[in-house]
Structures are given as C-alpha cells and as structure tokens.
Structure 1
Amino acid sequence: MAALAFTSGLDAPAAVNLYLPLDPNLPHDEASLAAAEALMRDEGIDPAPHRLLIEKLCPTSLDRSHIQSWVSCQAAGPPRVTVYMGPELYPHRVRPSGGRQP
C-alpha cells in the first residue's frame, strides 16, 4: 500500500510512504526483523536499535512470535523506516529500563 501526502502550493505529493505487511505474510518475527533490517540498511539507517528493542519487547522467542505487523518507508525527506507493532505486544508492558512488568 502507498500513501501520498499532498499540501497546498505543490504540484506533486509532499511525501510518499510505502507500507509493507509483515504478519501474516512472513512466518514469524525473526523473518520480519530480517526484512525490516534489510530495508533500514538500504535506506542508510542502523538497524541495531530496532533489533535490540524487538528482542526486549518480544514475549517469546522471535521464531514463534508475531509482534511486528507492518513496516513503512518514507520516500521524501530524510530516510525514515517505521515498524508497526501488533496486538500480541499489548499485554506486555515494558519499564523504561527495558525490563518487563508483570
């Protein structure tokens, strides 16, 4: 899916976002993580903070979870990759230090 953002005074979209569904198209979060990391590297973004966060938030092993639902890439302005989390994540709250709360 693509989203085109229009503003007054421009003859073309001000921004274009490409949205790619991860779950259910990929088998688990390890595959989704690999896809998101490849996109980040292609856009010149260090994927390490994303991997660290997913590993801390994931309620189970990455090869059995599905917390990442979509990934998007902004095509205008500075590179931006956004990863959208699914409902599996919501029952698990995370403390600012990164530890899980019961």
Structure 2
Amino acid sequence: MRLPGRILLTPDLPGGILKAHQDGELHRDYLSVQVLIGRLPKAVLTALHTPDLDVVTSVSILAKILTKHAVEPGVVANLANTVLRPTAVYQSASKGNAPSAVLLLSVEGGRTR
C-alpha cells in the first residue's frame, strides 16, 4: 500500500480522522502523512521575514487536536482561516540564533474570526 505524501485539509478530513481514531481504524502509518493547510499572505511573510512556503501539519497532530484536546472537527477544518490570517504578528523576545515570531490567532465560540 502506497501512502500519499501530502493531502489537502478539506472540510470532511477532521471528521474522518476523528471517526477512524474512535473506531480504532486510524493506522499508525497514516499518522505521518502531511496535511496542507495553505500559504501565508504576503504581509505575514514580510512580517515574519520568511519565504513563501506551504503551511503543513500532520494527520498525527490533527488526531491529537481532535482527541486529546477535544477540539470540534469543524474548528479543525477551519484551520486555514485561523492560521493563515493571524490577528497580529510580533517579533519574539526569545534569545537564540534564529529570529522568531509569535502569531496571535483568534478563535471565538468554535468559530474563527
């Protein structure tokens, strides 16, 4: 069986992951499959001083969000609107070799703004 390297975050994907996990059918090989969330807007890229790359997560992370943290599938399905449209971008005060940033994300009442 050949697994996909990357899949798109669709409205139905989080619910499918949650159901497969609850039914004991989420095979561990699928946990490492990347899930494409999207791309950051140019203004955010400029503020972060980062190249325009895909924003991705994994099935494993989504499963953890859905199960351990009990986030509703609809909220997870809307990650693109939450992550790719931050409320604010701040330069991190952490000391390290690489510049870093903090993104302020906003989720209210199960819906993103």
TM-score range, shorter chain: under 0.3
Provide TM-score, normalisation by structure 2: 0.26
